[in-house]
Amino acid sequence: MELQNDLILRAARGERTERTPVWLMRQAGRILPEYRAVRASLSGFKELVETPERACEVTIQPVDLLGVDAAIIFSDILVIPEAMGLPYRMVEKKGPWFDETIRSKEALSKIHVADPYADLKYVLDAISLTKKELNGRVPLIGFAGAPWTILCYMVEGQGSKTFSIARRMLFENPSLAHELLQMITSGTIDYLKAQIEAGADMLQVFDSWAGVLSADLYHKFALPYMKQICDAIPEVPVTVFAKGAHFILEDFAKLNCRTIGLDWTMDPVQSRALIGTNKTLQGNLDPAILYASEKEIQEATTKMLADFGEHPHIANLGHGVYPDTDPDKVKCFIQAVKAHKRL
């Protein structure tokens, strides 16, 4: 099916576009009353993720309501640990919780490499259904968590500011960490390839907890697995996003990815100098700016676009949109991007 709006795909491939494409991380979610209505009709977050028809509905909402240039499938990075045999619960106001964790060889022996067709069929069905319902309006983005970020949750068992238990494993039992990371990586590659087969037009790999590692540890325990994923997926453009890891940008420039996402603390001019001109950059407005006045949002957006310059760029926030953000402020950001004239 021919896409009516392929701006984001052309930008990701490094082609010049008539304007900068825009989407938001966490755009399908809590900022929209329409999303909250769907969520309220179900038992909770996991039922929404695991019900293809409802996941499809909330994936498409931002396309209709916000006017973004891409949809991103409504799912969660933690579907991979669950598919490996380590189920999680989403605890209201606390986040994810794992009753079991992987901290020993014995625990590792009880899980397996995820099979996307057996263990994650509901995500693939949601992608196929969404692709059909979008009817070529905009591209559909698939995603997965980076192996290091997934390990963090599987070892820690819950969210954390430091993930000190996960980081402890890197020093006390590095071989166990590498074994777990390889299992996550192998399953993630299969999962992302299955997403492409189901209809995903591009992919993003989220390394949300990259910033808790030193540069040395990231090079040992994270980068090699990101490289495996990028090398294994030539079919569609891949975006890598490592939050808080300024030190890795030059290394990401060498990966077989098309786009590198920047968080809001990364300066676009400095980042471009480090990365070079062969990659598309994505980002990176501070999500908190969306609490400001519409005039301030427009000014900040214009400055951001100017900072990224004329090289290929996909406009986004520097992380996910915050749940108490006014949807009208989000629309203001999107409209400011669309109104910006490229030289």
Q: What is the pLDDT of residues 87-101, one digit of tens each?
A: 999 998 889 999 999
Q: Distance between CA atoms of 4 and 166, rounded to whole angstroms?
A: 44
This prediction's pTM: 0.97
CATH code: domain 7-339 is: 3.20.20.210
pLDDT at 342: 72
Alpha helices of 173-314 — where are they, by DSSP H? 174-198, 215-221, 223-232, 249-252, 268-275, 294-308
Catalogue the active-site residues: 26, 30, 39, 76, 153
Number of H helices, E strands in the chain: 17, 9
C-alpha dist (Å) from residue 65 to 5, 23, 71, 269, 292: 16, 12, 12, 32, 21
pLDDT at 1: 76
pLDDT at 61: 98
Q: What are phi and psi of 240, to 5 degrees?
A: -110, 140
| Helix %, strand %, coil % of the chain (to 5) | 50, 15, 35
- 96: β partners: 90
Residue 169 parent element (H or E):
helix 164-172
Residue 133 parent element (H or E):
helix 121-134
Residue 205 parent element (H or E):
strand 202-207
pLDDT at 343: 60
Give every CB contact of residue 315 below 8 A, 6+ residues apart in sequence. Answer: 20, 21, 22, 23, 282, 283, 285, 301, 304, 305, 337
Q: Under a CB-based contact definition with an 8 Å cutoff, are residues 229 and 250 in contact? A: no
Q: What is the pLDDT of residues 247-263, one digit of tens each?
A: 999 999 999 999 999 99
pLDDT at 107: 98
List the chain pLDDT tens, one digit each, 343 residues: 789 999 999 999 999 999 999 999 999 988 999 999 999 999 999 999 999 999 999 999 999 999 999 999 999 999 999 999 999 999 988 899 999 999 999 999 999 999 999 999 999 999 999 999 999 999 999 999 999 999 999 999 999 999 999 999 999 999 999 999 999 999 999 999 999 999 999 999 999 999 999 999 999 999 999 999 999 999 999 999 999 999 999 999 999 999 999 999 999 999 999 999 999 999 999 999 999 999 999 999 999 999 999 999 999 999 999 999 999 999 999 999 999 987 6
Put the strands of the sheet holding 313-317 in their side by side order: 71-72, 140-145, 202-207, 238-242, 259-261, 280-285, 313-317
- For Cα atoms 136, 137, 138, give the angle at the middle one, nearest 5 degrees: 95
Q: Under a CB-based contact definition with an 8 Å cutoff, are residues 247 and 211 in contact? A: no
